[in-house]
Amino acid sequence: MAIATVNPATGETLKTFDALGDAEIDERIDRARAAYAKHRLTGFDRRAELLGRAADLLEADRDDIARTMTTEMGKTLAAARAEAAKCVKAMRWYARHAESLLADEQPARADVEDSGAVRAYVRYRPLGVVLAVMPWNFPLWQVVRFAAPALMAGNTGLLKHASNVPQTALYLEDLFRRAGYPEGCFQTLLIGSGAVEGILRDDRVAAATLTGSEPAGRAVASVAGDTVKKTVLELGGSDPYVVMASADIPAAAKTAVTARVQNNGQSCIAAKRFIVHTDVYDEFAERFTDGMKALTVGDPMAGDTDVGPLSSEQGRSDLEELVEDARGCGATVLCGGRRPEGLPDGWFYEPTVLAGITPEMRIHHEEAFGPVASLYRVSGPEQAVNVANDTPFGLSSNVWTRDEAEQRRFVRDLEAGGVYFNGMTASHPGMPFGGTKRSGYGRELAGHGIREFCNITTVWHGSQGLADPGTGAAAE
């Protein structure tokens, strides 16, 4: 795949880039390892100062980088500006909280004494150089939610971004450089996917994180397993959106539209399967379908556009195949199901609602990465749980019910990394994010995320030569 900016609203190739050669890759890995040797010794005050500067610069650059993201992958300009603001928020959150999240932990006094120690504690130390393989759908946010905690923990980063967002990738390297990070702390590698294995096998690289497709995750996990390196994987989802009889149906239907078409429907945590109690099914289906029909599809730079193009021609073809397979197997198309008329030669697709989904349809098991919703009718909580869990994925879930007993049951039984009641799934820097089953493993964000790429070290002192342990990375 070429490393290029191709405007998905027009299909026009705007800029191309040469991939790095082997010697250049080797030099950058060496630079990252050398930077880690120094960065790991810095105190949290210095790390917070650097990340705070990066946040300030990004805030000032917000409009420009938003236009770049929209040009490269097609999200609406409003969504791109919101993404940049979210990154600023996460950077400042980690700058404030990293020191306390990684503070030394004290075991119970009884356990210290039972171990024969005079003093014992747990310290979180950085691992080293972390390779990040990132996708195009949230080209700024996906990277920042890795980079902010990793850098605050004392690691350094190498970014292999998706090949269709090279300008955003280069902006990120420049952002951290302008913020004052030493050379090598964060570098972008303009490379194809074929170069990832060699980098991950390099002894100078300590770990990897990947957000992307299941095949990509399997490939990275396989190499990491062979080299015994830590990985965090977020591999997408087919999230359920359950609506029970006690739900506020107008609110549930309105939120469902946003939950399905956010980021032009190309979001791992977008609701994709709408599972509705039979008592309220007809009302929800009508309101939801009307809401999807009312959306404006068009130029993502325009202020009145709700849904822009898909990121690539292949992405649209894949979505069309899922819809046609469902239609051929008997699904009813309540709205959409085709390319819109009267738009430029971009990769647009109408917001679509499919009803009558059955297990033999591909869309029942596969992730629909675009503005296509699957609608199911269920008789009660038990069937709702069964349908919700009948997927290889388990990233997040949404449930609309005002019944507390039902809420407890869904928390107990849904196979997902998150359960969001009477709202829609959204990531936040203070809450862990990740999935189960084929949605991957490990967590990003919050304390869980910053500790993923730390060496969790038990420190034990006998009675001889006891020293002041100090606190955290500042004392390393």
Which pLDDT does position 96 carry in this prediction?
A: 98
Helix (H, G, I), strand (E, B) or coil at 225: helix
What is the greatest pairwise CA distance in the chain? 81
Categorize the per-residue pLDDT at 284 as very low, low, confident or very high, splitting at 50, 70 and 90. Answer: very high
Which pLDDT does position 464 carry in this prediction?
A: 72
Between helix 77-101 and helix 141-152 the angle, nearest 10°, is: 20
Which pLDDT does position 364 carry in this prediction?
A: 97
3-state secondary structure 244-310: CCCCCHHHHHHHHHHHHHHHHHCCCCCEEEEEEEHHHHHHHHHHHHHHHHCCCECCCCCCCCCECCC
Which residue do the tokens 């917070």 mark?
48
Chain segment 96-135, per-residue pLDDT in tens: 999 999 999 999 999 999 999 999 999 999 999 999 999 9
Whether residue 344 is predicted with pLDDT greater than 90 in this model: the reply is no
Least Cα distance to 59 among 40, 21, 28, 85 occurs for 85
Chain segment 254-274, per-residue pLDDT in tens: 999 999 999 999 999 999 999
SS3 content of the chain, % helix, strand, coil (to 5): 45, 20, 35
C-alpha angle with apex 152: 146 to 156, nearest 5 degrees? 65
- Provide the mean pLDDT of the chain: 96
Which pLDDT does position 466 carry in this prediction?
A: 59
Euclidean distance between CA atoms 447 and 102, whole angstroms: 8
Lowest-confidence region among 202-216, 252-266, 386-400, 451-465:
451-465
Residue 132 near residue 147 (C-beta atoms within 8 A): yes
Which residue do the tokens 């997408």 mark?
236
Q: For residues 363-379, give the mean pLDDT.
A: 97
Active site residues: 234, 268
Chain segment 205-233, per-residue pLDDT in tens: 999 999 999 999 999 999 999 999 999 99
Whether residue 452 is predicted with pLDDT greater than 50 in this model: the reply is yes
Considering the entire predicted model, what is its pTM? 0.95
Q: For residues 424-435, give the mean pLDDT.
A: 97
